[in-house]
Amino acid sequence: MKFAIVMLLVVSASAHAGGIVFEHHAGARQPVHEAALQRLLEELERGRELVARPTAVGALLGIAVAAPVVAGAARDPRIEVGVRAYLDGRYDQAIAPLAAAIADAHAHPQVLVAHAKARSAVRDALIALALSYQRRDSGGDRAHALETMHELIRSYQDQISLRAEYGPDAEALFREALAVLQARGTGRLAINSDDSALPIYIDERVRPLDIALPPGTYRVLAGNRRFEVTVEPGGTTLLPLRTGASSAFTVSERWVGFAGVPRRVAVEYARELVGPLQQDVIVLVGEQLWQGAPALMATVFDKDDPSVARTYLALLDARAEARVVALARVVRGVAASDPLVIDADASAAVSVPVPSQLDEETEATSPRPAPTAATRSTHYVLAGGLGVVGVIGGALALRFAGEASDAAQRLDTVCAVRCSQVQAEALVEANHGARRNAFVAGSVSALAFAGGAALLWYARQPHLTVTPRSDGATVSYSGRF
């Protein structure tokens, strides 16, 4: 069975424990009970101690997906509209499109890296936005103007020449913003990557991976991952980039988590990702079979001592909705126990290993579900293929049997009167060879037919469960009579 595991790393926050929710899949992300899994995540997030939505998890970690570069992405018409409105003195109409275009561009740094014109257009948008705030001068516009200019300085420090293009007011605003940044001092950003070939950009520019920078938030693009890191004056911000974690970790609009690695590896990757958040507890939630029935399993671990764990299950039966809600309450600590939730550790019928004991083999020996509609279709195709092999093998067996019969008849005809030893041996060898080939082809045909029949039977058994083990496999069948 391909497990869909959700990992909750609960971090300390004031007097209450908070948490981050990750999915974990030992293989590809193919949860069988997607609706129940999503329902559990909703209930886990209900108390606001846990963050489960993919966008919220990414925002908390400062990580987002960098969208792929698409044709025409370098041209954002909102920038042209906003700059034209600024030049015409329509500052109210300039601010909204410029701010939206800049936010979208920063959310998709691969476009800015791939297209110099797109990066130059964002530079113009930042200048026009800062000057629109300055000239509208309403409410907090002065602060917004300086903040926008700070972003311009951090991202385009060596590409700023405002007096010639925008006049003395723009140059004065730039100098004022630069003086404010310089008065705050600098901090360091240290990126530690274990892959020297991984392309890394800081605010869409190639810079040293250990660099002193003005304080503020910076975008780091590493491969197809976008990180937002904050540099504080006088401090050092560390960003470790591990190749394994990067390849296994996914952030998308649908889900955030790990795929293709065992649980113990996912735990280590997740601990690395949320290390600065001082996680206290790790909870793994996923699909599991309980006495042949589907269930959601939640195992709660102590971060400092993973061997101390507690496992709970909610059966996905007719009362699945109530059981999932109860499971979430137990995991969140709202209830110590619930009659709808199975305490697996209190039952002798199951033994769930802790992450420190899990390895590749343990993940592979988890119970597998009966074939789904998709897998049954594949089984039917394979069975048909084996049937074709059986037919071909049978035809070859008949052909070789005919050749053996012909060789025997020729031997009788030729040697009935007189034949040499060489002639007789050649005919005997031809007979033996044809008989041998007929036996092999017939055996292959029989095995192919038997395999196809077994595969068809297996595909039609919705209650058959195969559980691989290190010393073999266990096959169980359940049904109603």
- What's the burial of 66, exposed, middle or buried (CB within 10 Å: 0-12/13-18/19+)? buried
Distance in angstroms (rounded) separating the CA atoms of residues 413 and 332: 91
- For residues 288 and 327, the answer to whether their CB atoms sit within 8 Å is no
Mean pLDDT of 77-102: 94
Alpha-carbon torsion, ordered 427, 428, 432, 435, to 10 deg: 60
Whole-number percent of the chain with pLDDT over 90: 26
Pairwise pLDDT comparison (234 vs 465), residue with the higher score: 234
At 212 the pLDDT is: 95
What residues contact residue 167 under an 8 Å CB cut-off, 6+ apart?
Answer: none
Position 141 in a domain = yes
Distance CA 4, CA 149 (A): 46
* Counts for the chain of helices (H) and strands (E), in that order: 15, 18
CB 62 within 8 A of CB 227: yes
User: Is residue 465 a part of any domain in this protein?
Assistant: no
Assess if residue 472 is contained within a domain.
no
Pick the residue with more confidence: 253 or 207? 207
Q: Are residues 321 and 266 in the same domain?
A: yes
Of 380 and 344, the structure prediction assigns the larger pLDDT to 344
Mean pLDDT, residues 276-302: 78
User: Does any domain span residue 70?
Assistant: no
pTM of the model: 0.50
Identify whether the C-beta of residue 44 lies closer than 8 Å to the C-beta of residue 331: yes
374 in any annotated domain: no
**Predicted pLDDT at 414:** 65
- 474 within a domain of the structure (yes/no): no
Averaged pLDDT for residues 417-426 = 66
In a domain, 109, yes or no: yes
For the segment 223-251, the average pLDDT, to the nearest whole number, is 81
Mean pLDDT, all residues of the chain: 77
With a cut of 80, say whether residue 421 has pLDDT above it. Answer: no
pLDDT of residue 82: 94
- DSSP category for residue 49: S
**Does residue 42 register a pLDDT over 80?**
yes
Ranking 134-143, 298-307, 411-420 by mean pLDDT, the lowest is: 411-420
**Does 73 have pLDDT greater than 60?**
no
The residue-averaged pLDDT of 207-225 equals 90
Please indicate whether residue 317 or residue 306 has the higher confidence score (pLDDT): 317
Q: What is the pLDDT of residue 64?
A: 60
Say if residue 160 is in the same domain as residue 53: no
Could you tell me if 328 and 335 are in contact, meaning their C-beta atoms sit under 8 angstroms apart?
no
213/230 same-domain check:
yes
Query: Same domain for 354 and 400?
Result: no
| Residue 302 or residue 151, greater confidence | 151
Q: What is the CATH number of the domain that holds 152?
A: 1.25.40
Same domain (yes/no): 280, 332: yes
Domain count, the chain: 4
Domain span holding position 118: 77-184
Residue pointed to by tokens 């060489």: 422
